[in-house]
Structure 1
Amino acid sequence: MKLTEQPRVQVLLGDAQNREDQVLPITRWVARLIIPFLAAAFLVLYGEPTRTAEFFAWTIRPEMTPIIMGAGYGAGVYFFYRVATVDEWHRVAPVFLGIATFTWAMAIATVLHWENFNHSHHTFYLWVILYAVTPVLVPALWVLNCRTDPREERDSGPVLPRAVRVLGGGLGVVVTVSAVILFIFPDIMIGAWPWAVSPLTARILAGWFALFGVVNGVVVLDLRWSAARILVQSQILGFTMVLVGVARVWHNFDPSNMLTWGVVGGMTLYLCAIVVLYLGMERR
């Protein structure tokens, strides 16, 4: 008797209920599809922050904003590479909630500031397609792939110290609430931020802050270091690039603004803290 070929949809989705803690094939394929978009955004925004009028969906001034965005997309390239190659779902799952929040912020900001975009540039269409699809796609992948989660703690190596979970979770909540407020009321940011921002760029930056806040708040709900490891690696990469960018465009900052030292000092302190955390946990 001839066996029928598995439907293509079943091959992509797999049998989630029988794939304990596995990254589904469709999640891997979407990760591979997203990487080139993020890599292109990284090259333009981080590599050529003064030329967004030529190469990006809208003109961004000054350079520090595209540098932060580019660093975020660069860290995203690494994260989605790990999604495409890692075996266990719990190692990447918490970050998906932060990315979902971020994509919704980008989509809403695009609608609110439609007139600010360069509608004749091909990157505008790529931006619109990306943030029309991902606000639905990313949460759907998270829900679908979470069916592989056995929902029980297993012996998977070292666990995060309680102090780290409390501090990380508290920071995540504070940053997320602040990001929501800044997104709704961008004038707060416009009046106080260390470098010049517009209503659009204020909301874009608030979206990045929300991503950071949500992943920090969610990842500490899982005791296992293995659930935080890839996130921490991505954050080390992203914050390092941001601080290198600060040195590149220090002229964008207002040294007389106390928030300048708060923002730069806070990022430096956070980077040092997660490097220490990473080295300490990897030795266990």
Structure 2
Amino acid sequence: MANPSGDGGRYPASDRIGSTPRDRVLPATRALCMFIVPFLLVAFVLLYFWPSADDTGRLFAWRIAPDFTSMMLASAYLGGAYFFARAVAATQWHRIGGGFLPVVLFSGLLGVATVLHWDRFVHGNVGFWLWAGLYFTAPLLVLLAWWSNRSQSPPATVDDVLLAGPEVAVIAAAGVLACVTAVVLFVLPGWAATVWPWPLTPLTSRVVGSIFALGFAAVQVLADRRWTSARLLVQVALIMLGLMTVAAVRTLGDFAADRPLTWLLAAGLVGSLVGLAALYGRREISRAGSRTARG
């Protein structure tokens, strides 16, 4: 049970248990993470630096338009590459465990989108077969990795710095909003295209929805308030949001200024970036203070 005192509290010593899991990352999980990283890095480079429809049609799995959609997907890829690279070197499962189910959602939805829009892909490109192979296998493999490791996460202890109650509420609310947006984009792509800030096809609507589904990571703070559990996920979000902000500035012409959602999403992007940076700074100061207090 969390400390009811709220802000930045710690779990009471009475919540310790005599026999705790080892909090380790299994070798098979490390191997899977190591295998995934190169694919994500290559996809990031291709989509972020050659985002045009002509380039993606030649180098990637399908022609993506406009450029911002390519760069948004690339931003998610680099965030994922960073996450899995850190997971390879991680020594404690609870520090990385929160990233696996969001990846299952993201990759699973992209697999479904691939089947639904099979005819939109460039089947002659090597990039397509890499895409299809990855998204037809990754959801199951990542889910199995999470399932195998799930019992490794120990309960919080008196030494754990917790996210404050208001922080949890805001983060979880943002995650729920992202997940609802993902559902709308995936289930109602035709309607979404009429209000969305940049042009969407049914395929790109579902791809963008898959990216928003990564917001499930934020919902998980309701189950685990430890800063050590959230820290890496916040770093990943900062990478993704930072790259998306740069991409938006580079592709301003892709956006419809007359649509209200354009300005709402812009405010949400900048607000999330600033808010997460402030949270990260605050919690790192708390973590440093906790270490100092323990001597």
Do the two structures share a fold, i.e. TM-score over 0.5? yes
Structure 1 Cα separation of the partners of residues 56 and 20 of structure 2:
47
What is the identity, as a one-letter code, of the residue corresponding to 2:125?
H
1:33 to 29, 35, 59: 35
Structure 2 Cα separation of the partners of residues 149 and 230 of structure 1:
15
- Residue 100 (structure 1) aligns with: 104
Whether 1:77 and 2:81 are equivalent positions in the alignment is yes
Identity of aligned residues (%): 35
Structure 2 Cα separation of the partners of residues 149 and 156 of structure 1:
15
- Residue 213 (structure 2) aligns with: 210
Alignment of 1:31-180 (within 5 A): 31-50=33-52, 51-150=55-154, 152-180=155-183
Partner-residue secondary structure (3-state), 1:283 = helix
Structure 1 consecutive aligned stretches of length 4 or more whose deviation exceeds 4 Å: none
Q: Deviations over 1:89-143 (max 9, x none)?
A: 0111111111111111001000000000000100110001001111111111000
- Provide TM-score, normalisation by structure 1: 0.91
Structure 1 residues not aligned, in runs of 5+: 1-16
Offset, 1:18: 9.2
- Provide TM-score, normalisation by structure 2: 0.87
What is the identity, as a one-letter code, of the residue corresponding to 1:173?
V
Structure 1 Cα separation of the partners of residues 141 and 237 of structure 2:
23
Whether 1:184 and 2:187 are equivalent positions in the alignment is yes
Structure 1 Cα separation of the partners of residues 83 and 242 of structure 2:
15
Offset, 1:220: 3.7
Offset, 1:156: 4.5
Partner-residue secondary structure (3-state), 2:63 = coil
Q: In angstroms, what is the RMSD of aligned CA positions?
A: 1.4
Structure 2 Cα separation of the partners of residues 77 and 138 of structure 1:
14
Structure 2 residues not aligned, in runs of 5+: 1-18, 287-295
What is the identity, as a one-letter code, of the residue corresponding to 2:104?
A
Offset, 1:171: 2.0
Structure 2 Cα separation of the partners of residues 252 and 156 of structure 1:
48
Aligned residues: 266
Q: Deviations over 1:58-113 (max 9, x none)?
A: 00011010000001101111111110011110111111111111111001000000
Partner-residue secondary structure (3-state), 1:118 = coil
Summarize the Cα distance change of 1:18–1:134 in structure 2 as closer, same or farther, 3 Å threshold.
farther
